[in-house]
Amino acid sequence: MIDIKLIRENRELVKENIKKKFQEEKLGLVDEVYDLDESRREYQTKMDALKADKNKMSSQIGVLMKEKKLEEVEEIKKKIASMTEEITSLEEKQNTLADEIKKRMMVIPNIMDPSVPIGRDDRENVEVERFGEPVVPDYEIPYHADIILSLNGMDKEAAGRTSGEGFYYLLGDIARLHEAMLAYARDYMIDKGFTYAVPPFMIHSDVVTGVMSFPEMEAMMYKIEGEDLYLIGTSEHSMIGRFKDQIIKKSDLPIKMTSYSPCFRKEGGSHGLEERGLYRVHQFEKQEMIVLCEPEDSMKFYEEMWKYTVEIFRNMNVPVRQLECCSGDLADLKVKSCDVEAWSPRQQKYFEVGSCSNLGDAQARRLGIRVKGEKGTYYLHTLNNTCVATPRGLIAVIENNYQKDGSIIVPEVLRPYMGGKEVIR
């Protein structure tokens, strides 16, 4: 949610930002907010004047009572009662307008960073840099589900019986490899100065609407029937929600945390081959990172954070690239975002394994997270980034470490988490 001062002072800037995101249907909201805000402020001015007059009259009652001017006292009391009714009416009108303003402000997109490339959708995202040579071996790499099945590492058939499509059992050394990746990412982030956390896996609706836009919420999240609780789609949601309605001391910033959680999403399997595999699933596990910081520091942290994901995957022998998200692919709350994509030697193309986002003060405004400094209180900036999400990250590790004889080399950094095992056969 943007600062309403932007609409009061520079409506054209807000409209131009909407145009760059190809959301012309939202342009009218800017003028609607401006007009509603003007009316709300007029009501506020009238209300302030009435309250001042009411206080002035109230102070006269004591003097008039001492002078035994009872008729004048009764007359003033009648006027005060009338003023009270008018103030109540104005407050109700103002609250109604405030609700209408908020409803519109919640869907007006955040102001993007000037460096964001302009494009309609993810087909126009821009590759910025590659890390590691994308190798295609001289032997065939089977589909990841077939590799895992050959190693007795998965049972989707049983998961279908217990839970339905989009779920899975991981078994044996593949399950250990899965957990090793998460444990390694956890320890990597701790070494980078991040505090480890295991957050709640369910959150209230006011936290959900504080951290994401309505379309994202509808498309992603599972609601617990009969309760004001949603299963998290990523631990960033509950991690940022931890600071809801809090005033944080300037001296406590930056706050850097890394969190583990299972994640739950409505995303269904695609047709055909992908339904057998682990690429599109309803449940997965993730090591996440978040930062809460001073506004002037957020772009610095953004550049640091996505590079952590690159290094984690490079240390697991996976070539990756950074892909800058264009304006049309940028979620409404985000100032800037990029994906880290892993190389698939089987498909001979890259696929997403991580996403890094700077949300400016949008989440802080929605959730009421402020900083107390020498110059008063103000909204901080929030960022989030994927360390490792698996099983999608697991696919990248398996394919890039697959050998001609059907075995998988365990990346050196993961071996301590697998009892020293070097090869999965």
In the chain, what are the domain boundaries? 4-105, 122-424
Q: What is the CATH number of domain 4-105?
A: 1.10.287.40
- What pLDDT does 271 receive? 43
Check: CB of residue 168 under 8 Å from CB of residue 274: no
- What pLDDT does 388 receive? 98
What lies within 8 Å, CB to CB, of 13 at 6+ separation is: 6, 111
What lies within 8 Å, CB to CB, of 226 at 6+ separation is: none
- What pLDDT does 376 receive? 93
- What pLDDT does 174 receive? 98
Check: CB of residue 291 under 8 Å from CB of residue 404: no
- What pLDDT does 111 receive? 97
What residue ranges of the chain have pLDDT lower than 70? 268-275
- What pLDDT does 280 receive? 86
- What pLDDT does 268 receive? 53
Q: What is the CATH number of domain 122-424?
A: 3.30.930.10
pTM: 0.91
- What pLDDT does 33 receive? 97
Collapsing DSSP to helix, strand or coil, 343 comes out as strand
